[in-house]
Amino acid sequence: MTDDSQRFTTMYDECRQRVWAYVVSQAGRQVADEVVSETFAIAWRRFDDVPDPALPWLLGVARNVLRDNIRAEIRRESLAGELRAWTEEDHAEQVAERLAVLKAMTSLTQDERELLILVAWQGLTPRDAARAVGCSPTAFRVRLHRARKRLVQAMKATPTAPSQSRVRNLSEEWS
């Protein structure tokens, strides 16, 4: 096996699941395998351009593949289906809290949801998430701050919202 093949295999093994989870969070399971395959095909063709660490770059490629291949309406429908599936697996209190967060998330723009998902669910640092969405870390932090504020406001406006102290705790967890 050549050095490039070995390096690519290592990168694939380390990043595939997180890229797949990112794509699922954006567009649903129905298109995830196809988008992940295309993302890694692009990574192979442009292997010399892949930086270290590769995950933010791969997430950026996956983001572009999604934007090129999936209409916004299809993404929203798939995401809604995934979110319903996730909430059906929890206990009553957790379901109510998760539903409130998810309902609040639907009031955000796709770009705002993406910022929150990259940081809260994918665990990227603001610097790495900024690289994935193609902006400066400063611009990302400003956008993230605004998205968090809008999410908290939306959660407070939700009739089934968690208590005010829980909303504050959730907000702190996302910081």
111 with 38, same domain: the answer is no
**Angle, CA 44 vertex, CA 57 and CA 137 arms, to 5°:** 5
Three-state secondary structure string covering the chain = CCHHHHHHHHHHHHHHHHHHHHHHHHHCHHHHHHHHHHHHHHHHHCHHHCCCCCHHHHHHHHHHHHHHHCCHHHHHHHHHHHHHHHHCCCCHHHHHHHHHHHHHHHCCCHHHHHHHHHHHHCCCCHHHHHHHHCCCHHHHHHHHHHHHHHHHHHHHHCCCCCCHHHHHHHHHHCC
- Tokens 């957790």 belong to residue: 94
Q: Lowest-pLDDT range, 81-85, 114-118, 145-149?
A: 81-85
Query: pLDDT digits over 119-170, tens only?
Result: 888 889 999 999 999 999 999 999 999 999 998 888 887 666 555 555 555 5
51 with 110, same domain: the answer is no
pLDDT score for 130: 93
106 with 55, same domain: the answer is no
161 with 97, same domain: the answer is yes
Asked if residue 85 is part of any domain, the answer here is no
62 with 112, same domain: the answer is no
Domain count, the chain: 2
102 with 158, same domain: the answer is yes
Q: What is the pTM of this model?
A: 0.53
97 with 53, same domain: the answer is no
CATH code: domain of residue 164: 1.10.10.10
pLDDT, average across residues 77-95: 66
Asked if residue 36 is part of any domain, the answer here is yes
Asked if residue 74 is part of any domain, the answer here is no
Query: pLDDT digits over 36-46, tens only?
Result: 999 999 999 99
pLDDT-derived band at 55, boundaries 50, 70, 90: very high
| Domain boundaries, position 106 | 91-173
Asked if residue 82 is part of any domain, the answer here is no
95 with 169, same domain: the answer is yes
162 with 130, same domain: the answer is yes
